[in-house]
Amino acid sequence: MTSSVSSDQSMPLAMAAVEASANLADLTRADFPLLGQTACLGQPLIYMDHAATSQKPRQVLDALQHYYDHDNANVHRGAHQLSVRATEDFERARQKVADFIAASSAREIVFTRNASEAINLVARSWGDANLHEGDEVLLTLMEHHSNIVPWQMLAKRTGCVLRFVDLTDCGELDLNDLRQKLSERTRLVSLAHLSNVLGCFNPISEVTAEAHRFGALVLLDACQSLPHMPVDVSRLGCDFLVGSSHKLCGPTGMGFLWAREELLDAMPPFLGGGEMIQDVYLDHSSWADLPYKFEAGTPAIGEAIGMGVALDYLNQVGLDRIHAWEQQLTLQLFDRLQGIDGLTILGPTPQQEPDRAVLAAFTVDGLHPNDIGALLDSAGICIRSGHHCTQPLHRHYGIPGSARASLSFTNTPEEVDRFAEELVSTIGFLREHS
């Protein structure tokens, strides 16, 4: 059967072949319909909330529409041509994920609804089977709630103990504290690759080397790093990795878990039902092969196909070029924000950490971040305000929340300048009327 979605990465882009230093925003924005709209009062929309969810290129939107227009059928179950085509594209998307992170096999890729479900899968399956009272799970103070709450629930079920690695004064992972807290009781280290608030780039290869010395496994939350730089699981040395489609220019409701095949083989299923079985009897069942024993029920077929096309898109733009362009934006963003009186940015600067995330979470003396976000929105600028699903981190800094501008390769230097100018105006207005 002829597949409905091309398996190569030669789909047309609005960009031309350019050097890594080129302005990727000018070359890609035409692929993103949402970014061309006008906001309230006629201003051009400026989207700076990519750390929460990315925008989707037309190629992804077209792939979703094509699936539902031409190939809508359940996968793995039907012999008819629609099912065969849907299955081919669905499984091709799995291979694209494996290639994107340099996994050794598509059998190591489990499709989930999102990264949160992927972490819960590990906690429920591997955690319930392997952790006991007194065992330790080592986390960090910067973790997203999705990488805290599942382990709290596991601790209540098993009696294992959660410990947290501290931060340095500039907002980076404290490797010395990590080394001090690792022990023979540590069974798992689970941490973010890039912090969604501090922006810090964690030295995962060093973390995995230290953890493996004690026989501990390492789970990596790569949601913030995957859209912005190359990620190779073999080089990082981690044992589990989770990602989310909607931060990768793909559809919502789709994510994945990668784990070493021998780990997945040994883990019991997470959910029961159709698709994940080999044989079902009245009193027992046997499980399907990897990765299907972890994928109960009808999956998000169109969303998986869309995620695969999104990865094609990012690969064609080039992750190295994306990272280089975003480094320039980060320098500009910090330069503009650091000159604003009373504004404090959380986390290391680009000078302290050149590979930091292309975002800035900040506070302004005497002002609530929600007020800042609301007034910027009235000027057509979309940022985020609140705790960003990191309440323990904000408590660590003694603040209820922060404002956050998070960019991507589709943002322009002109947008950074306009954001900074509107922010200065917003701060002045709020101080005058407070």
For residue range 55-70, list pLDDT tens digits in order: 999 999 999 999 999 9
Q: Which residue has the tokens 């319930």?
A: 128
Confidence of residue 41 (pLDDT cuts 50, 70, 90): confident
pLDDT tens, residue by residue, 170-201: 999 999 999 999 999 999 999 999 999 999 99
> Could you tell me which residues come within 8 angstroms of residue 19 by beta carbon, excluding any fewer than 6 positions away?
none
Please provide the average confidence, as pLDDT, over all residues in the chain. Answer: 94
Instruction: Please count the residues of the chain.
Output: 434
Judge whether 9 lies within some domain.
no
**Nearest residue to 328 (alpha-carbon basis) of 231, 228, 423, 204:** 228
pLDDT confidence of residue 15: 42
**Same domain? 269 vs 213:** yes
- Two tokens, residue 214: 């004690």
CA atoms of 404 and 359, how far apart (whole Å):
7
- End-of-domain residue from the set 267, 288, 316: 316
Task: Specify the number of domains making up the chain.
Answer: 2
Judge whether 11 lies within some domain.
no
**Same domain? 307 vs 348:** no
389 is catalytic: yes
CA atoms of 267 and 390, how far apart (whole Å):
29
Judge whether 159 lies within some domain.
yes
Judge whether 424 lies within some domain.
yes
pLDDT confidence of residue 7: 38
Under a CB-based contact definition with an 8 Å cutoff, are residues 167 and 142 in contact? yes
User: Which three-class secondary structure state does DSSP give residue 383?
Assistant: coil
**Same domain? 69 vs 213:** yes
CATH of the domain at 218: 3.40.640.10
**Same domain? 145 vs 187:** yes
Under a CB-based contact definition with an 8 Å cutoff, are residues 60 and 313 in contact? yes
**Same domain? 245 vs 333:** no
**Nearest residue to 338 (alpha-carbon basis) of 227, 261, 423, 217:** 423
CATH of the domain at 345: 3.90.1150.10
> Could you tell me which residues come within 8 angstroms of residue 23 by beta carbon, excluding any fewer than 6 positions away?
325, 412, 413
Judge whether 17 lies within some domain.
no
- End-of-domain residue from the set 291, 316, 341: 316
Q: What is the pTM of this model?
A: 0.94
CA atoms of 289 and 417, how far apart (whole Å):
53
**Same domain? 156 vs 277:** yes
pLDDT confidence of residue 78: 76
Judge whether 189 lies within some domain.
yes
pLDDT confidence of residue 77: 78
- Two tokens, residue 14: 């609005």
Residue 95: exposure state from Cβ atoms within 10 A (0-12, 13-18, ≥19)? middle
pLDDT tens, residue by residue, 25-39: 999 999 999 999 998
**Same domain? 185 vs 110:** yes
- Two tokens, residue 83: 């099912």
**Same domain? 219 vs 366:** no
Residue 319 amino acid letter: L
Active-site annotation holder among 223, 249, 382, 389? 389
Longest dimension (CA), the chain: 72
**Same domain? 401 vs 310:** no
- End-of-domain residue from the set 270, 300, 316: 316
Judge whether 380 lies within some domain.
yes
Q: Please give the residue range of the domain that contains residue 422.
A: 24-51+319-433
What order do you get walking across the sheet with 186-192 strand by strand? 109-112, 255-259, 240-244, 217-221, 186-192, 136-140, 161-165
pLDDT confidence of residue 222: 98
- Is the pLDDT assigned to residue 20 strictly greater than 90? no
For residues 121-143, give the mean pLDDT.
Answer: 98
**Same domain? 256 vs 351:** no
- Is the pLDDT assigned to residue 18 strictly greater than 60? no
**Same domain? 284 vs 334:** no
Give start and end residues of each alpha helix (H) in 101-242: 115-122, 128-130, 149-158, 175-181, 204-213, 233-236
- Is the pLDDT assigned to residue 361 strictly greater than 70? yes
Confidence of residue 4 (pLDDT cuts 50, 70, 90): very low
Give start and end residues of each alpha helix (H) in 214-300: 233-236, 261-266
**Same domain? 165 vs 308:** yes
DSSP string, 32-85: -GGGG-B-GGGPBPEE-BTTT-----HHHHHHHHHIIIII---SSS--SHHHHH
Judge whether 94 lies within some domain.
yes
Under a CB-based contact definition with an 8 Å cutoff, are residues 376 and 429 in contact? no
CA atoms of 50 and 39, how far apart (whole Å):
17
